[in-house]
Structure 1
Amino acid sequence: MGNMKNLPIDPRIEKYSERRFVKHVFCPAVAAFAFSSMLLAQKGLNLSSPNGKLVMSFSLDASVAGASDGSGRLQYSLMYRGKSLIDASALGLELDDKAPLGSRVTITDSTPNQGVDDYALLFTKVSHVHDPYNSLSLTVKEASNSGGRNGRSMVVEARAYDTGIAFRYVLPSQASITQLHLRGEQTEFRFSQDDTAWVLALPNYRSSYESEYLRYNLSALSNQGGVASKFLIGFPTLLHQPGGAWMSLMEADLEGNSSAYVTNPTGSWAGHMLSVKLSPRWDDPAYAVTGTLPHHSAWRVLGVADEPGKLIENNLQTDLSPESRVKDTSWIHPGKASWNWWVDNVNGKGESGNKEFTTETMKYYVDFAAKSGFPYFFLDAGWASQDITKTNGRVDVPELVRYAAARNVKVWIWLYSEAVMKQMKEAFPVYEQWGVAGMKIDFVNRDDQEGIQFFYDVARYAAEHHLMVDFHGCHTPWGLMRAYPNVMGYESVLGLENNKVGRRDSPVDRAVFAWTRLLVGPMDYTAGGFDNQTEDSFVARNATPQVMGTRAQQLALYVVYENPIPMVSDSPQNYDGEAAPAFQFLKDVPTTWDETHVIGGEVGEYSTIVRRNGREWYLGSMTNWTPRDLSVLLSFLGSGRYVAEIYEDGADAATSPKHVHIRKETVTAKSTLKIKLAPGGGVAIHFIPAK
């Protein structure tokens, strides 16, 4: 009760002020009832963002529990600029086989606070973060021996930033819960309208998060063709309430937990809600999380903004994640890499095929990286034996590493996740001895409690052995890179590799990913395809693959998409000759940023993003198959004049998508650039301070 003095007291119940309350009330049960009643008389507890635009309210719904003792179902709601975004929505945990903790509780304490997340952030979209927040810690408890619940208690921790809200559950150590057996959550998001949502619909709990983000209204996620139905939806989710706000639904700080998904369980054509479902454990699917107390859940995160681009700019996930656990980060370096897999091991003679997967062929990619000024070469699958501490004789990794080192290039190696799970303690010291820079760990395909722990174990043990990590076939990011900056990349996207076998990757998908998958950070899309084709001329093929859309769009992807370790995916020979002038942009563009701004676009249509590295700025803009004429105000530039090196679609790019027109223009912050995007087109611009 010590924090009651921090709450606004209604004059009608002033007799329950802290001093008089402590003096006259001695029974804990009566105290809990009186305190809970006082809070309800104040119409719940409110948590506002520092700028006051977001207001998260907590309350108890006594009608659900049917109780007359002051208890009720714990719930919250959310307002933005005075408009309702989320109506009263349940909060609770499903433990063992008992009634949900949160369905019939009293509020026993509330602690308001405030703070500022101020920290340096390595190798991402910004170099420094300064985010003030207000917080509220709400303690609730069940009545003792009520319905067999034995007085369990929990804490809901909530934060409100100007850019969104977040909350999580905390189970303190208590006699009424001896072991943690969490079946699921009762977390709801009852949206006030039938919002438009861009959702990543997944087949089950074991996927690579590699699919399209589909546009639906929330009601369509529960009722298809008049028939009740459900979608299993992975994070992130983008939502738009017309006349209200744009929202991003995410999670952060998953350590010790399983991942969350959402679904619309209503089955109704009028249902506008999403509820949380936790990925079940593989060894016992009846539970999602097991362990001991104390325990906290992952953060449930809802970004809120007037424009969708502001959701991409926010840093909520890293705000809510632990600070760096890697004391010495001097050995961690971002940078571009050559890559052998996408082009099927093309050698210096222009031949391809698995027969060319040899040490000598891989040296060709090392030489290309050295010539281009790239710090890395990514050696993909096929080099390892069943024992991943040994090579299978096709590529001599230690020899390749020595060869690369003499040319100022370092080598990353591909690994199968199941082998890493079994052998990381034996293998990582060997890789450090070989001089390997990092590991691309593929086909993780799990985000249950043990699967999430695998990410943390890899990150920690890799850091101990000075190894960087790029996760493929995996869950989308959740802020892990703040705690472990050696985790440089995540795939979890329907990327360029799909051009090898079909048509699932196109400018249409890329225009959606820029507003959806990009919400949660680094995305190893493996861009850089230079055999560019129109929608009609494209042919899917494994060897020497093609890409839909223009060459200028491929350049733009290195600015639009965030990725500290992007691959330059095509065959080295495809960057020579007539392609060399456009390839210069890929040699120049950095991979980490001090500042990022979304300055234009429309979800699923086109996007324009600018990023700063030091004193230089870069702009990337791309469109779907619709051509566009854009006017871009350069107000983001600093004072003085800049030379803009512009790589844009050629005048005939609609039919000849390989053609890139390169020009220079002197500009200032008051200038407006006219940009013309071809179908499937783009533009990439490098702004250099004029001397």
Structure 2
Amino acid sequence: MNKLVKHILALLFCGCLLQPASAEELKLTSLDGNTVLTVNIDEQISWSVEKYNRTILPKVIVDMTVNGNPLAKSPSLKAKKEVDRSESFEVTVPLKNHKVSNEYKELQLGFKGGFGLHFRVYNEGVAYRFFTSLRGDVEVNNEVMDMVFPDGTNSYFPKEVSTYSHYERNYLHLDIDSIPVGDFCSLPVLFNQDNEQLRVLFSEANVYDYPNMFLESAGNKHLVSMFPKAVKETIPQPGARADRNVIITKEHDYIAKTNGKRTYPWRLFVITNDDKTLLEQDMVMQLSDPLKIDDTSWIKPGKVAWDWWNDNNIYGVDFESGLNTETYKYFIDFASSYGIEYVILDEGWTKSTTEILDFNPDMDVKELIRYGEEKGVGVILWCLWKPLDENMQEILDTYAQWGAKGIKVDFMQRADQYMVNSYEQIAKACAERKLLVDYHGSYKPNGLRRAYPNVISYEGVKGNENNKWSEDITPLHNTILPFIRMAVGPMDYTPGAMINMQKENFNISFSRPMSMGTRCHQMAMYVVFESGLQMMCDNPSNYYKEEECTRFISKIPSVWDRTIALEASVGEYVAVARQNGENWYLGGMSNWEERTIHLDFAFLPKGTFELELFTDGVNANRFAQDYKVKTITVQKGDKLTLKLAKGGGFAGILHPVE
């Protein structure tokens, strides 16, 4: 052997010695064979994912720092196991499908040092989470997720200016490499590759006793995880909103103090080249804890006559409208007339915003609850989170004793560990008293509602209420929401505006608000948008005046046996079919573009169906409230072409013909 060969072999041998003994590459492939997740264990733990024979995420580095020690530094693998699952479960309040299929492959990795990782691959995407098996309580200082994206990736980026937020954001269409270092967003967030032909939706699930994750730009196509620190001390914000806003004055140096033997939240990625998948997938539900309530028979989803958006601006009555008993009896009468399940008493019903155990002298809440029961209408009570948190047991006991059906709790505005725990505490305490919960001023759904289905809806969305003070709620915005925010769970957008305008006619009015887009655009929301508690935001006087539309909306349920996406393109258009019992319901919406939608009734079972259909009127481009209603018969396999106006939409109900 000559000296050159010996020298090369020596170098190769030294190189091998420099590699950590634990270096390993592990692969996990989806059941359909299209998605391949590769885990690399070297000086650190990273993973990548391929789908459609291309690299989607080239490198994601993950780690956790617990009690000041990075767990995944020079990791040593001691156990691995691959598991296949093919199961299904039923959803108590089904907002997409009554039965959810849960089929995946899972790679379970255990490392020296008392920690490990679970990786799951679904046909629709991938997910991972940490677990630890450490004694006693631990302090989690940080959880690292460092993602690098391929060239040309852009995003729908819900930029935040603080983690103290209502999480009601516009989705900014930004190139990843153009996001300034330090800018960050809340979740969910959508990434786009291959000229927007491929989507990656990122969010989280099963978040308990742990803060929400945010994503921060680190520059050079990198986004990294960030978390709010655990809150140590707050003081009321000086001024008019001291009842609901706080200033965080001290934070701990950790993000969570928690039991050392536990699993942590799932980090999930829906990956698809078909926008319909974003509407049909249910990964947050699949990755969340099962039911924790024994009796769910009392949980009743439905629609709500809502007061706050329309500022109690009823007319044609012989009493002065406002925050008084007569006005709310009018709301209850309206709800009863149309079979609407609930009325909300929003801000103003209490003696003050902090004295929420008593009502204002012009409103007899006990009488309203009694009157509602007589009329078959339940009453839901709004309250601020801050006073509720300070006196939860007495307040909830009182509301339950009065006969209220639920609470709309507002102004949480945080996503730290204490607040996440508060969400579960409220859900559990309300379930014990058979009270529904609608979270406003809230972060997005994280899976809590599978365990506590009395959590009937979440806000955390820039919805119709913003019409009262801004021009942000456009048909473009509305055709983005189903693919991002709604893709992770219900959103209390509060649809139903009866005063509808095209862009050039829209005006901001706090007391007499209106919406952008057509009447049918608003009506379609009752089918397209998911919420177990679907608001009717306009005032009863307007609904009475628009009897034909109101009667139609009142027939649309808020829960579904099955959902099928018919047409879908993020920020352009959306059309869905949803089944409830023997009936099917159609809804479709467009952005500001006029367009033609082609409906294929291949989803129908055999037989003849009568279709009651609301479409944009011939003059809807000028007068947005113009609509046309017709009834036709259709069968499986029939096709129908619909023309949508600017900001347009359509809605339909299909009844089987005997």
- Quote the residue 2:322 is aligned against: 356
1:6 aligned partner? none
Report how far residue 35 of structure 1 moved: 13
SS at match of 2:651: strand
Match of residue 167 from structure 2:
209
Instruction: Measure the CA separation in 2 of the matches of 1:314 and 1:601.
Output: 14
Code of the aligned partner of 1:303: V
Q: Is 2:86 the partner of 1:116?
A: yes
Letter in 1 for 2:203: M
Deviates more, 1:596-605 or 1:561-570: 596-605
**Residue 59 of structure 1 corresponds to which residue in structure 2?**
40
Q: How does 1:371-390 map to 2 (within 5 A)?
A: 371-385=337-351, 386-390=354-358
Q: Which amino acid aligns with 1:167?
A: Y
Counterpart check, 1:474 vs 2:442: yes
> Is residue 2:300 matched to residue 1:333?
yes
Q: 1:282 maps to what in 2?
A: 231
The whole-number CA distance in structure 1 between the counterparts of 2:448 and 2:425 is: 12
How far did residue 367 of structure 1 move?
0.5
State yes or no: 1:645 paired with 2:645.
Answer: no
The residue matched to 2:602 in structure 1 has which SS?
coil
Gaps of 5+ in 1: 1-32, 62-71, 142-151, 223-228
Partner Cα distance (1:398, 1:576) in 2: 26
Q: CA–CA distance in 1 between the matches of 2:125 and 2:470? A: 38
What residue number does 1:25 align with? none
Given candidates 523, 539, 547, the residue that maps to 2:491 is 523
Q: Any idea what SS the aligned residue of 1:94 has?
A: strand
| CA pair 399-352 structure 1, distance change in 2 beyond 3 A | closer
Deviation (angstroms), 1:643: 1.1
More displaced stretch, 112-121 vs 659-668: 112-121
Matched, 1:502 2:470: yes
Structure-to-structure mapping, 1:200-599, within 5 angstroms:
200-222=158-180, 229-242=181-194, 245-266=198-219, 271-283=220-232, 284-349=251-316, 356-385=322-351, 386-577=354-545, 579-599=546-566
Q: How many Å apart are 1:628 and its aligned residue? A: 0.8
TM-score normalised per structure 2: 0.91
**Does structure 2 conserve the Cα–Cα contact (< 8 Å) formed by 1:527 and 1:567?**
yes
Q: CA RMSD in A?
A: 1.9
User: What code does the residue aligned with 1:247 have?
Assistant: V
CA distance in 1, matches of 2:530, 2:416: 26
Write the letter of the residue equivalent to 2:31: P
- Rounded to whole Å, the distance in 2 between the matches of 1:637 and 1:567 is 28
1:262-294 CA-partner distances (Å, limit 9, x unpaired): 12212xxxx223211112212124211112311
Aligned length: 620
Alignment of 1:601 with 2:601, yes or no, is no
The residue that corresponds to 2:74 in the other structure is: 104
Amino acid at match of 2:117: V
Cα contact 1:388–1:423 (8 A) shared by 2: no
Q: Aligned letter for 1:314? A: Q
| Structure 2 CA distance for aligned equivalents of residues 117 and 565 of structure 1 | 29
Q: Following TM superposition, by how much is the alpha carbon of 1:348 offset from its aligned partner in structure 2, in angstroms? A: 4.8
Gaps spanning 5+ residues in structure 2: where?
Answer: 1-16, 233-250
Q: 1-side partners of 2:395 and 2:576: how far apart?
A: 40
Percent identity for Structure 1 against Structure 2: 29
Structure 1 partner of 2:115: 154
Q: Counterparts of 1:193 and 1:45 in 2: how far apart (Å)? A: 26
Give the Cα separation in 1 of the matches to 2:605 and 2:19. Answer: 55
Query: Structure 2 CA distance, aligned partners of 1:209 and 1:277?
Result: 16
| TM, length-normalised to structure 1 | 0.87
Does 1:93 pair with 2:64? yes
User: What's the offset of the Cα at 1:195?
Assistant: 1.6
The residue identity in structure 2 corresponding to 1:236 is: P
Aligned letter for 1:504?
D
AA partner of residue 161 (structure 1): Y
Give the Cα–Cα distance (whole angstroms) in 2 for the partners of residues 238 and 610 of structure 1. Answer: 24
Of 591, 595, 606, 1:624 maps to 591
Match of 1:69 in 2: none
- Three-state SS of the structure 2 residue aligned to 1:377 is strand
Structure-2 residue corresponding to 1:674:
641
Residues 1:196 and 2:149 aligned together? no
Task: Choose 618-627 or 241-250, whichever is displaced more.
Answer: 241-250
For 1:138-153, what aligned pairs fall within 5 Å after superposition?
A: 138-141=109-112, 152-153=113-114
SS across alignment from 1:519? helix
Q: Which residue of 99, 103, 107 maps to 1:132?
A: 103
| Aligned counterparts of 1:617 and 1:220: Cα–Cα separation in 2 | 44
Sort the Cα spacing of 1:667 and 1:153 in 2 relative to 1 into closer, same or farther, 3 A.
Answer: same
Asked if the contact 1:647/1:683 (under 8 Å) is kept, the reply is yes
For residues 338 and 35 of structure 1, what CA distance do their matches in structure 2 show?
66
CA contact (8 A) 1:596 1:609 kept: yes
Moved more, 417-426 or 80-89: 80-89
Where does residue 145 of structure 1 map in the other structure?
none
Kindly provide the CA deviation profile for residues 585-635 of structure 1, in whole angstroms up to 9, marking residues without a partner as x. 211111100111222122111111111111211111111111111211111
